[in-house]
Amino acid sequence: MTSSFGGINTALTALYAQRRALDVAGQNIANANTEGYTRQRVNMQAQAGSITPAMNAKTDGLGTGVAVTGVQRMRDEYAENRARIEHGNSAYLANQTQSYSAIEDTFAEPSATALQSQLQDMWGTWSDVANNKQLAATRSTLIQQSSTVADGLNGAHDTLAGQFGESRAQLAAYADEVNATAKGVAQLNDSIVRAKATGIAVNELEDQRESQVMHLSELTGAITSMRPNGSMDVFIGGSTLVSEFTTRSMEVSGAVRLDEQNTDPMTLRWADTKTALSAGGTMGAMADTMTKIIPLISDALDSVARNLASSVNTKHVAGYGVDGSTGNDFFVSRVPGDPITAGNIKVGITNPDQVAVSSTDPMLIVPPATSGSLDNDVADSIADVGNLVTGPDREYQAMIGQLGVSSQAASRRNDIQATVTEQVDAERESESGVNLDEEMTNLLTYQRGYEAASRVLTTIDSMLDQLINRTGLVGR
């Protein structure tokens, strides 16, 4: 049944609703620069009057005011899901580009001090030996220049190995970080579900969860799925990382050093099942760098070292030094018996007189030959190795060329992906970001609504005062 005091309640609900809206607008303004904050909006709904007939009861059909039905987070779930995917792709390509850049810095081609230049200087020194075979100083220079080439190969391998080791340690640290973040997401799931069950607003908790999940997406390329109760599941490579309130852990196993990669490959895997997981994002790029990119470059560099040793040794073994020595390998392994690699190659000749320059044994020449009477066929032939189509120089150039192409392709993909990610973020920001101009407009709107509701109360109070205190008073 309607009451003369019903208007007071209607105005009071308006005061409550406008005040709540003012509070929310103030919260938006306060967090305009807060990372990960999502703007909020008050949803209001008119309260209907009684529509159920009853004995001795009637209604004038008017509503009973306004009610706040909730405070909505302005998030587009589709845009959020796409943003996680794009941020994961962007993180992957950014790390891969960085890895390629570091590898290119290792070789520093082209430059006057890079390996290609050192090889050319070595072949030039072999030519000098052929032209001045009688000079011990020239042969000594050859040994030093060849040692520089071997050291360049050693240094390149060691730098690649160092990059592998650093990436391995960082990947393990990231795995620990992912495990800790996943537990944080599970705890927030629990808090959100409990709060929603009791009718408590959870917008700020959901913002915290969104930030942590985005971090997981950047690290691992994680994607998500919402449950009806408000909790969020997180998946990596199709496998569950967070399932409502429970989590799984990941770990890094296998090779700690680059030289161990072929025998005990580095693996990113689940701690419970020990099965490999396919991650994206930063960790996926690091895993690919350690299992594909660095080993591929290292193997190619080893092939160059073997080609160099084989090309030179084949000719050097058949030649004779000034002292009559023969059958000596010019390049050898630092570890006797091990195959030659970029990491262990070194010059095996320490005595300049043992550098093979001639195809003729000086001991068979009568009278005994001098260094000036020996031919220079072997030294001249070795000097031509640098021009061979199948020689180490061409193989090294092909390796550097392929590295440059791969690096450039990764860089271009990274630039394109960065633009896509920026566009997605702009779309997200237009939906969830705080616009101060819009919030100031809302403040004025809600303020005027609050003032109008207050005026209604004042008017009703005046009417009731007239009715109660002054009705029937005549002549006063």
3-state secondary structure of 69: strand
Q: Is a pLDDT exceeding 80 seen at residue 11?
A: yes
Q: Is a pLDDT exceeding 80 seen at residue 153?
A: yes
Sheet holding 223-226, edge to edge: 223-226, 232-236, 239-243, 246-247
pLDDT for 128 equals 93
pLDDT for 28 equals 92
Q: What band does 47 get if pLDDT is binned at 50, 70 and 90?
A: confident
Half-sphere exposure of 192 (CA within 13 A, CB side): 24
Name 332's bridge partners: 346
* 369 DSSP assignment: P
Estimate to the nearest angstrom the gap between the alpha carbon of 426 and the chain centroid. 20
Q: What is the pTM of this model?
A: 0.86
Mean pLDDT of 10-16: 90
Start-end of H helices in 198-291: 203-220, 281-288
Cα-Cα-Cα-Cα dihedral sign, residues 183, 185, 189, 192: positive
pLDDT for 75 equals 86
pLDDT for 26 equals 92
Q: Is a pLDDT exceeding 90 seen at residue 226?
A: yes
Q: Which two tokens stand for residue 113?
A: 């001090």
Q: What band does 470 get if pLDDT is binned at 50, 70 and 90?
A: confident
- A 10 A CB-CB count for 85 gives 16
- A 10 A CB-CB count for 264 gives 12
Helices (H) and strands (E) in the chain, counts: 10, 10
User: Rounded to whole angstroms, how far apart are CA atoms 192 and 103?
Assistant: 46
pLDDT for 463 equals 83
Q: Is a pLDDT exceeding 50 seen at residue 62?
A: yes
Q: Any residues with CB less than 8 A from the CB of 48 and at least 6 apart, and which?
A: 63, 64
Name 252's bridge partners: 268
Name 70's bridge partners: 43
Q: Which two tokens stand for residue 266?
A: 């580095």
In terms of Cα–Cα distance, which of 358, 311, 368, 325 is closest to 133? Answer: 358
Q: What band does 1 get if pLDDT is binned at 50, 70 and 90?
A: very low
Amino acid at 339: P
Q: Is a pLDDT exceeding 90 seen at residue 431?
A: no
Q: Which two tokens stand for residue 232?
A: 């969020």
Q: Is a pLDDT exceeding 80 seen at residue 5?
A: no
Q: Is a pLDDT exceeding 60 seen at residue 369?
A: no
User: Rounded to whole angstroms, how far apart are CA atoms 223 and 236?
Assistant: 7
Q: What band does 63 get if pLDDT is binned at 50, 70 and 90?
A: confident
3-state secondary structure of 38: coil
Q: What band does 55 get if pLDDT is binned at 50, 70 and 90?
A: low
Q: What is the pLDDT of the chain when averaged over all its residues?
A: 89
pLDDT in tens, 154-209: 999 999 999 999 999 999 999 999 999 999 999 999 999 999 998 888 999 999 99
pLDDT for 464 equals 81
Q: What band does 366 get if pLDDT is binned at 50, 70 and 90?
A: very low
In terms of Cα–Cα distance, which of 18, 40, 20, 17 is closest to 29? Answer: 40
pLDDT in tens, 393-407: 999 999 999 999 999
Q: Any residues with CB less than 8 A from the CB of 255 and at least 6 apart, and which?
A: 164, 168, 261, 263, 264, 265, 266, 290
Start-end of H helices in 281-391: 281-288, 294-317, 377-383
Mean pLDDT of 81-95: 95
Amino acid at 464: L
Q: Is a pLDDT exceeding 50 seen at residue 123?
A: yes
Question: Each residue of 176-186: b (16+ CB within 10 Å) or e?
Answer: eebbebbebbb
Burial of 312 (0-12, 13-18, 19+ CB in 10 A): buried
Q: Is a pLDDT exceeding 60 seen at residue 365?
A: no
Amino acid at 461: D
3-state secondary structure of 435: coil
Lowest mean pLDDT among 68-72, 136-140, 251-255, 287-291: 68-72
Burial of 355 (0-12, 13-18, 19+ CB in 10 A): buried
pLDDT for 268 equals 95
Burial of 56 (0-12, 13-18, 19+ CB in 10 A): exposed
Q: Any residues with CB less than 8 A from the CB of 466 and at least 6 apart, and which?
A: none
Q: Is a pLDDT exceeding 60 seen at residue 475?
A: no
